[in-house]
Amino acid sequence: MKSIALVTSHAPSLVAFRGVLITDLVTKGIQVWALAPNYDQETREAVIQLGAEPVDCSISRTGMNPVRDALDTMRLIFLLRRLKPDVVLNYFVKPVVFGSLAAFIARVPYRVAMIEGLGFVFTETGRPLSYQRKLLKAVVLRLYKIGLRCAHKVIFLNPDDRAELVGAGVVPHSKTWLLGGIGVDLQRWRPLPHVIAPVTFLLVARLLREKGIEQFAAAARQIKLQHPQVRFILLGGLDDNPGALSERDVQAWVDEGVLEWHGHTAVAPVMAQASVFVLPSWREGMPVSTQEAMASARAVITTDVPGCRQTVVDGLNGFVVPPPCYDLRGNYQCNSMALAAAMLRFVEQPELIEPMGMASLEMARKHYDVREANKRLMAVLFDKDVKQ
C-alpha cells in the first residue's frame, strides 16, 4: 500500500482545504497520515471520518524562533522516519521550509511542497520597503531556498507567485508545477437563487488589514449615504496576527450601521443572502472563498493582485479594482473609491447580477472542480514523470 504524509501548521485546514483530497486518496487505497500541531477533538474526529490518521506534531504557525524551529524539525525527522511515508506533501510556510528539510533528512522517497500564497512580506504596497521588511524578505527567501531545494516538486496556485520565486533564484522553473485553484466541491457548493433586492455584498476573510476590510467598510459608508437599503456583510473571526483588526475596530463599523458582522460562522447560509461576493485583498494564493462564491453563481469584485486577478474576467463575471496601498510618504491609502464605484454598478444596474453570476458559475465548473484539481494534484504526488 502506498502512503502519504500531509504536513501542515494548522490542523483545521486538513478538513477545510484538504478534506476532499484525503477522501480521494483513501478511496484509491492510499494510507494517509495527517500531521498537524493544534488538533482539538472535533478536528481529530473529522480527520478520522475522512479516512486519515491524525498525528500530532510540533510546528509553530507564525513567528521566527530559530531554537524552537530547529527542535521542531528534529522531532519531525524522527516522526517521519517512524511513519516511513512514500510521499510527503508540505503546505503553509513553516511546513514548506522545515517540513521539506525534515523529509529530506528522513529520506522520504518523494517530497512535494505547495505554496498556498507568499503572504504580506511579498505584497506590493506602493512604497519603498523599510529596512526591517527588506531584511525579513531576505530571510524568508533564504529559508524558502533551503526548504525548496529539498523538494522534488513545488506546486504553485498562481503564476505570479511562481514567477516571484523563480525570478529570485529560489527554485528552478523545471521543478515547479502550476495547479491553479485547489477547487471546491461542486456537489456541495451549488448555484443559489440570485438576490436582486436588496443588493447585498458579502466579504469572507480573516480579520486582517491586508484582506482589504477597511476598504470594504469605507466603500460601504460611501454607498449607504445614497443607498441606505444596500446591505454589506462581513464574515470572519478575530485573529492574533500582528496585522489583525481588533474587535473594537469592527464593532465600530457595526455600531455606525455601515456593515453587518457575523463573526466566524458557516458561509453557505450567508452566501444565499448575497448578491455579489467581494474580496479586496492585497495578495492571495488562490482564494477558496472566491471559488465557493463562483460555484454559488455569485458575481465577484476583487483586486488586481496575485491570486485574485485570476478569478475574475473584468466585465464578464465581475469587476477588478486596484488594491489599497501606501503613498510615497508612507501614509496608508484606503483607496475605496474604485471599489465603491464597482459596487455602485450592481446597485444602479441590478440586471448585471444574474448574468455575471452565471458567468462565475461557468468558470467554476470549468476551472475549480475540486475533483479535477485533485486528479492533477495526485498525478504530481504519485507520478514523478508527469508533465505540465
Q: What whole-number distance in Å separates Cα of residue 336 and Cα of residue 333?
A: 8
Tell me if 332 is assigned to some domain.
Answer: yes
Q: Is 229 exposed, middle or buried (0-12, 13-18, 19+ CB in 10 A)?
A: exposed
227 and 243 assigned to the same domain: yes
275 and 345 assigned to the same domain: yes
Tell me if 50 is assigned to some domain.
Answer: yes
Distances (CA, A) of 185 to 39, 91, 203, 302: 24, 20, 20, 22
Q: What whole-number distance in Å separates Cα of residue 298 and Cα of residue 201?
A: 10
145 and 221 assigned to the same domain: no
Q: How many other β-carbons are positioned within 10 Å of the β-carbon of residue 42?
A: 11
Q: What whole-number distance in Å separates Cα of residue 86 and Cα of residue 4?
A: 6
Flag residues of the chain having pLDDT under 50.
328, 330, 332
18 and 164 assigned to the same domain: yes
Please give the model's pTM, rounded to 2 decimal places.
0.89
Residue 375 DSSP code = H
Q: Is 180 exposed, middle or buried (0-12, 13-18, 19+ CB in 10 A)?
A: middle
Total residues belonging to the chain? 388
Tell me if 124 is assigned to some domain.
Answer: yes
40 and 156 assigned to the same domain: yes
Which distant-in-sequence residues (6+ apart) come within 8 Å of 200 by Cβ?
A: 230, 231, 232, 233, 273, 274, 275, 276
Q: Are 273 and 195 contacting, i.e. CB atoms less than 8 angstroms apart?
A: yes
Tell me if 195 is assigned to some domain.
Answer: no
pLDDT for 77 equals 98
CA atoms within 13 A on the CB side of 150: 22
74 and 136 assigned to the same domain: yes
Q: Are 282 and 118 contacting, i.e. CB atoms less than 8 angstroms apart?
A: no
374 and 362 assigned to the same domain: no
272 and 333 assigned to the same domain: yes
363 and 375 assigned to the same domain: no
Q: What pairs with residue 293 in β-bridges? A: none
Q: Are 322 and 333 contacting, i.e. CB atoms less than 8 angstroms apart?
A: no
pLDDT for 325 equals 64
Q: How many other β-carbons are positioned within 10 Å of the β-carbon of residue 34?
A: 26
CA atoms within 13 A on the CB side of 228: 3
- Domain hosting residue 205, numbered range: 200-367
Tell me if 17 is assigned to some domain.
Answer: yes
pLDDT for 131 equals 65
- Residue among 292, 303, 297, 287 at smallest CA distance from 266: 292
Q: What is the residue whose three cell numbers read 482545504?
A: 17
Tell me if 191 is assigned to some domain.
Answer: no
Tell me if 194 is assigned to some domain.
Answer: no
With a pLDDT cut of 70, the percent of the chain lying above it is 92
Q: What is the CATH number of the domain that holds 217?
A: 3.40.50.2000
Tell me if 99 is assigned to some domain.
Answer: yes
Q: How many domains does the chain have?
A: 2
* Residue type for position 206: R
8 and 77 assigned to the same domain: yes
Distances (CA, A) of 217 to 214, 221, 239: 5, 6, 18
- Residue among 200, 201, 160, 199 at smallest CA distance from 178: 160
Q: What whole-number distance in Å separates Cα of residue 307 and Cα of residue 317?
A: 16
254 and 338 assigned to the same domain: yes
375 and 282 assigned to the same domain: no
Question: Given the DSSP bridges, would you call strands 276-279 and 318-321 parallel, antiparallel or unpaired?
Answer: unpaired
pLDDT for 324 equals 73
Three-state SS for 57? Answer: coil
Q: What whole-number distance in Å separates Cα of residue 151 and Cα of residue 328?
A: 39
